[in-house]
Amino acid sequence: MPARALAGMLAAALLLASWGARAGTSIVIWPIDPVITADRTAAALWLENRGRQPALMQVRLFRWDQDRQDDRYHTQADLIGSPPMVQIAPGARQLVRLIRTADLPPRTETAYRIIVDEVPIPGGPDASGPAGRHAAAITFQMRYSIPLFVYGDGLGPQGGRPALDWRIVTDAGRPVLEVRNQGPIHARLTRVAFRRPGGSVAVADGLLGYVLAHGTMRWPLAAPGASIGGQLVAVVNGAPQASTIPQRH
């Protein structure tokens, strides 16, 4: 599934968040960074309904790669979610097992996305009246996307490090930050900024995004051209401190 299509559906879901709130559901998902190491065949994902009404949840898993400017999701047969559809009562929680069904290449990290959709329950408390008719016309109420990394023999989440560098490129006359990762594991970039003697210019105060292993990603820069340059610093994979990413020449 193209990530742009998925992103458009996510935006629609966020616009319809008020309908989910009206239905009284509030879903909490953890962990937000599950992994499956080579010595394990499954990982746990917990869904908890802290709302006032039952919630019907669908769980799907997609292979995840990147094409410099976009995340891409593909159907796959390496992993399954069990059960793939669950109804959770108010105040209850549900375990979903993320099960590896195929061996992966050794010393590799393979990236997936877990897509969890909150599906309207037919005949639910909001099924009548204008709000119910509107909710019944959509395919989901909320969507959650969680990264999942699976490791082959000889590599684990602590057994490798990203190897990052960056450069500025131009796209349609606008500056774009390109970050390359030549390392064996992904890089999650937060609190990204250009640091110069006169001060820092923020690129992203929170999450900028991911650069997958042996991948490259680009992000448009909102800062004026005069503000771009200096040292690029970022918190990588939740490290205690920001580190400097070398510039590619």
Residue range 104-131, pLDDT digits in tens: 899 999 999 999 999 998 766 554 444 4
Percent of the chain at pLDDT > 70 equals 81
Percent of the chain at pLDDT > 90 equals 71
Residue range 59-93, pLDDT digits in tens: 999 999 999 889 999 999 999 999 999 999 999 99
Q: Where are the alpha helices (DSSP H) in 94-244?
A: 129-136
Instruction: Flag whether pLDDT at 37 surpasses 60.
Output: yes
Q: In angstroms, rounded to a whole number, what is the distance separating the alpha carbons of residues 211 and 237? A: 11
Q: Is 107 exposed, middle or buried (0-12, 13-18, 19+ CB in 10 A)?
A: middle
Instruction: Flag whether pLDDT at 55 surpasses 50.
Output: yes
pLDDT value, residue 181: 98
Supply φ then ψ for residue 169, to 5 degrees. -120, 170
pLDDT value, residue 117: 95
DSSP 144: E
Beta bridge partners of residue 100, listed in sequence order: 79
Residue range 12-30, pLDDT digits in tens: 333 333 233 333 458 999 9
Task: Tell how far CA 122 is from the center of its chain.
Answer: 29
pLDDT value, residue 121: 84
Whether the pTM exceeds 0.85: the reply is no
* Domains, in order of start, for the chain: 3-151 (2.60.40.10), 164-245 (2.60.40)
